[in-house]
Every structure is written in structure tokens, then in C-alpha cells.
Amino acid sequence: MMTEPIVSCRGVNKIFGSGELQVHALRDVDLDIMPGDFATLAGPSGSGKTTLLNMVGALDTPTSGEVVIDGQSLRGMGKSELSDLRLNKVGFVFQAYNLVPVLSARENIEFVLELHGMPSAERRDRAREILREVGLEGLENRRPAQLSGGQQQRVAVARALVARPSIVLADEPTANLDSKTTEELVQLMYRLNREFGTTFVIGTHDPRVMEHSKRHIELLDGRIASDERS
Amino acid sequence: MIASLAWRNIWRQPTRTALSLTGMAFASMLLVFMLSFQFGSYDSMKANILRIIDGFGQVQPPGYKDDPEITKVIRDPSGLIAELESLPQVTTASARANGYVLLANGERSFAAAVAGVDPVKEVRITRIASLIKQGRPLRADDDAAIVLGEALARNLRLKVGDRVTLLGTAMDGSVAADVLKVVGIFRTGITEIDRQIAHMPLDRFRETFVMDGAVNEVAIIGRDLRDIINAEPRLRAIAARHDAVYLNWGQLQPAVKQAITLDMTTASLMYGTLVIVVVFIILNTLYMSVLERTREFGVLLAVGMKPGQIGRMVWMEIIFLSLVGTGIGIVLGMGLAWYFGRVGVTFEGMQQIFSQWGLPPRIYPRMTPFRVLAGPSAIILLIAIAGIIPYRRVLGLEPVKAMNA
């Protein structure tokens, strides 16, 4: 039996601006992300990595072509439906961590679960459990400003994973981290992929991340230049 | 947790929040105190003016107010008085008869409005008895006696113990004439009253003016003017049953009502301006706060929060802020109104003008739920409505653009 892709892009184009200022960020991209993929998306600056991640994560919609996430096409979806889709299917890890500064580590995670309508006690237990999984036990009540960059990024990973999304997208997650913390974070994501089968697509040009990649997608001028599995 | 997040968001910039709260609290405090003070002064003005002559309301024959002919009468007021006094809001109802006469002393004569009053009951309705400056008030056993205003007595060169001649037209059209002994001279401080008004016993008046037990009006009083205002529908019904009409305080003292309306209109403009200025200052602060957090809102959209949820969170912040600000203002305003409600407020050099409007030299703020809550509620309501501006901005956010802001 054929396994269905989690994300499927067909003939995706994305054009920003108009007239002489028009930028063709993605050109006829065809891409399938399969369950359990631990894929890196690489390419020089301006190659379209972030734009493609935004399409795959339903943060943006294509100018033409179609993106289907877990069987749902983004075509014609309103803002609220896209929000629902992101909440239920996608987890995000950002370069700048992007945690809510006034919430503690645990609350940042619980917040996502609350959006899912999970009861308070269950939320709390689930948040503690995931924080333990990412090695932040004992730091639950610290606010982002009281955590190191690596710790904040672990919280961000935990936040992305807590609702058990179909896919986790990470855009340059190690760009602000030192080597040791980068290694720890990559090992963490790799372990989560191995143990729980979580699908990761990581936009990066960090060789330390690419080393662990099972699939390497190279973008150049908005086109997929190569797509290799190891 | 969204409510908790909204609450914490308010305190991200504690100094800015404290300044916003101070502005709102100050405006609310001012509104609570000023409305209590202003309405308190109206209460004093109405009660004082009405207690000099009119009472809190009157039952009269139809058309008597506009054309006070002595022939327009309530023939037998006893049943009417009994019904009026049966109302819990009415403490006293007192019959009166009025005549426009010429008072003469030797070669001096002046026009005056003489009222025949029940000396026992009238003392509960008007303050004339307490405003007697020479002599004494009318008594139940008085017959050919009169008390009159200070200016009228002065013009007629009368003093206590003198006799004054009264000439008028009786109810049957004949000449009404009497000679009365001045037993008291009063001073209300209101020129028109002190120059024109005189009181004599009702029975003697009816005899002199051939009224055969009839009266021209029945004045009523209650513990509080608001009690009488609230009882107006029942008072109207009672009056109608006796082929008469009920006149409320505003109909008895239209000039006072108009003055209060005018003063209230002017003050409302000031209060309205204050509220609008405060609302715009707060809105500006909140809008700035929303603009600053555009990137964070983009992240919240990315993790699956709906634009409407973020908008409601921002709205909640606005409501929390206004509730805290106005709450502090209400407490401070009530404290201020309570303090001055005990000691009163005096305006040096204004006593003469105040007395013309029936105001006492010391004015006491009086709190009611309306006076305390009207101003702060207006602030909260307008801020909640104005909150649609940041709310709509949040609704328009796109996650990618917002995160790149």
C-alpha cells in the first residue's frame, strides 16, 4: 500500500510584488513530504527556503499551484481555516525562538494545548511531560528571559511537538545557537524523529544539521535543484 | 489562559500602564466627585427653593397655574388631603388659598400675594417659620394675623405688632377687606419672595375671601424629593379623581428646572470632552502596544491562534485596563465625595448669589449609584467601543507579514 504524503506541493509558484519590483520566489515546485521524513531544506540566501517552508506550513498561500496538507488543499481557505489547519497539523520552530515573553516555559506549551481545548489538568501534565522529554525538567516556571538560547529553542521544539502535529517545520533553528547547543538540539530533533516518527523539515545551511538529515532538498533560484535521500 | 495572558500583557510596560491607569483613575475620580457635587447642589437647590413656598408638589384646579384666579378652586379638599397623606411617600399635604391683594399702611400701599395657610401643617412644608427674623410664625390659634416678607414690611414701613389693611377681590366678586396684625417678618434671601409674599391663617383667608371651605391648591411634602418624584403617577391619579391636576417640582419651578438643565448641559460638554480625551489617550497607548507586538501576533497566528482570538485578547487587555483604572478612580472619587459630603464645600463671596437660587452657603456632594457609576461607565463603554480599532488591525494581520514586521 502506498503511503500518502503529509504535504504535497504541485506546480507551486510564489510571486511577491508587482511590475519591475516583482520577485519570483518559487518556480513550479513539486514536492512531497512523507511521514517520518527528517528533511533539510538548503540553499543560498534568497533561494526560496523560507517561502517554501511558509507554503508547506500553511503560513502563506501560493500564487499558483496547489499545496495539500494531510489531504486538505489550501486553495480557497480563509484565515480562520488556515489557523485551524496550522494548529492541528503543523508545528513551528523559529530561528528567534519566538516564545511569548510573559508566559513561563510550561505556559508557552500549555497555551497551544488550550487552543486545542484540552482541560487544564491534562494540559499541565502533558506540558510537564514534553518538557521532560526535551530535557527541561525543573525549568518549567521560568520565563523565556530567564532561559538560555538553547533552552528557549528546546521550549520552542516542545511547543511545536506538544499537540502531536503531522509535521514540524523549523526555519534556521540553530542560527542563534553555539556549537554545543546546536548539537544538542539536532540530537533532540533526531531522537524525536526516530523514537516517535515525527516528521521534520528543517530549513538550514548549517552542515551540523545536514549531517543528520535523511533527506536533503536543495533549492536554487526558487526551484528544487536536487532532492536526495541518504 | 488567554485572560491571564491579556492581564500579563498589560504589565509588560509597567510605567506606561501606570501612567494610563493614573489618567483613567484621575478622570474617573473627577467625574464621580463632580457629578456627586453637582447633583448634590441641585438637590439642595430644589429642596431649598421648594421648601420656601411651593412644597415638593401641588394639586391644583385645572388651569390654575397659568391663570391663578381665586375662583378656580378645589371645593372640598379634605378627601383629597386624606388620599394624598395615605401615600407612604407623602408626609404632609396642606391646603392653601391664594389672593392677589393690595396691602396698605397709612398712605403706603403695595401689591402682594397673600396665601391662606394651615399654620400647623405649613410648618412641615415650607421653611417660612424658620426664616422669621422678627416676631414669630403663625400659630394654630391665630386669627387676624399675618407674616410677611422683610422687603414688603420695609416698603410698607411695618413692624411686628402693626396692623395692615388688606384689599382684594373675593371669590364671589365682592370686595375682600380685612385688617391684620403683623405677627412676624421673614427673610428668605430671595428678593421676589421677600418683596411680595405674605401668609395668613387659612380659615381667616377663606372667610375674608368668601371661599366657603374651598382652597386653590394642596401642597405636599415627603422625606425626600425623589420619593415624591417616584410617586408622581399615583399623585396624578389621585388629583384626577378630584377633578384636579398634579404639578411636579419642575412645573412649579420651571426657572430652576431650566437653570439646572442649562448647567447640566454645559457640564455635560465638559465631562464629555474629558471622557473623550481620556479615551483617545488610552486608545493611543493601546494601539502603540498592538503595533509593537505585531511580530508576536504573527507567531501566535503561526502556532494556530485565530485572528479573532488574538483580537479578543487585545480587547480583553483594553477592558482590564479600563476596569482597573476606573475602579481606582471610583474608590478615590467616592472617598472624596464622602469626605466633602460630611464637611461640605464653601465658596467664599458666593453666598449672595447662592441664596438667590435657594442654595445654602455650604454645598454637600451626595452620592447615588448613578452619580458614582455614570462617568466611569462612559469611559469603559467608549474604550470598549474604541477597542474595535486595534481589534480590526489584528483581524487584518497575515502571519508571514506580521512575523517580518
Q: What is the pLDDT of residues A187-196, one digit of tens each?
A: 888 888 888 8
Same domain, B79 and B227: yes
Same domain, B344 and B378: yes
**Closest by Cβ to A87, choosing from B5, B304, B400:** B304
Q: Please, are residues A212 and A190 in contact by the beta-carbon 8 Å criterion?
A: yes
Domain end call among B203, B224, B252: B252
Question: Residue A204: helix, strand or coil by DSSP?
Answer: coil
Same domain, B242 and B272: no
| Record: fold of A7-229 | Rossmann fold (3.40.50)
Q: What is the ipTM of this complex?
A: 0.89
Crossing angle, helix B2-10 and helix B307-343, to 10 degrees?
A: 60
- Distance separating alpha carbons of residues A130 and A156, to the nearest angstrom: 11
- Judge: A100–B300 Cβ closer than 8 Å, yes or no: yes
Structural domain containing residue B286: 2-49+256-403
In chain A, residues with a C-beta closer than 8 Å to the C-beta of B302 are: 57, 59, 86, 92, 94, 98
Question: Residue B360: helix, strand or coil by DSSP?
Answer: coil
- Distance separating alpha carbons of residues A216 and A212, to the nearest angstrom: 10
Same domain, B384 and B347: yes
pLDDT at B199: 96
Across residues A32-42, what is the average pLDDT? 93
Same domain, B99 and B236: yes
Same domain, B19 and B85: no
pLDDT at A2: 61
- Taking CA atoms, A147 is separated from A117, A150, A156, B235, in Å, by 28, 8, 12, 75
Average pLDDT, chain A: 90
Same domain, B62 and B166: yes
Nearest CA of chain A to the CA of B286: how many Å?
Answer: 17
pLDDT at B324: 95
Same domain, B309 and B233: no
Tell me: pLDDT of A1 over 60.
Answer: no
**Extents of the domains making up chain A:** 7-229
Cβ neighbors of A18 (< 8 A, separation 6 or more) are: none
pLDDT at A195: 86
The answer to whether A111 faces chain B, any CB pair under 8 Å, is yes
Question: Residue B210: helix, strand or coil by DSSP?
Answer: coil
Same domain, B61 and B35: no
pLDDT at B356: 67
Domain end call among B252, B278, B297: B252
Same domain, B129 and B244: yes
pLDDT at A227: 92
Domain end call among B221, B252, B283: B252
Fill in the amino acid letter for A152: Q
Positions of chain B with pLDDT lower than 70, given as ranges:
355-358
Same domain, B289 and B388: yes
- Taking CA atoms, A218 is separated from A55, A224, A228, in Å, by 16, 6, 9
Fill in the amino acid letter for B202: L
**Closest by Cβ to B305, choosing from A83, A88, A102:** A83
Cell numbers representing residue A96 in the block: 528567534
Number of domains in chain B: 2
Same domain, B91 and B237: yes
Question: A138-167, pLDDT tens digit by residue?
Answer: 899 999 999 998 899 889 989 998 888 889
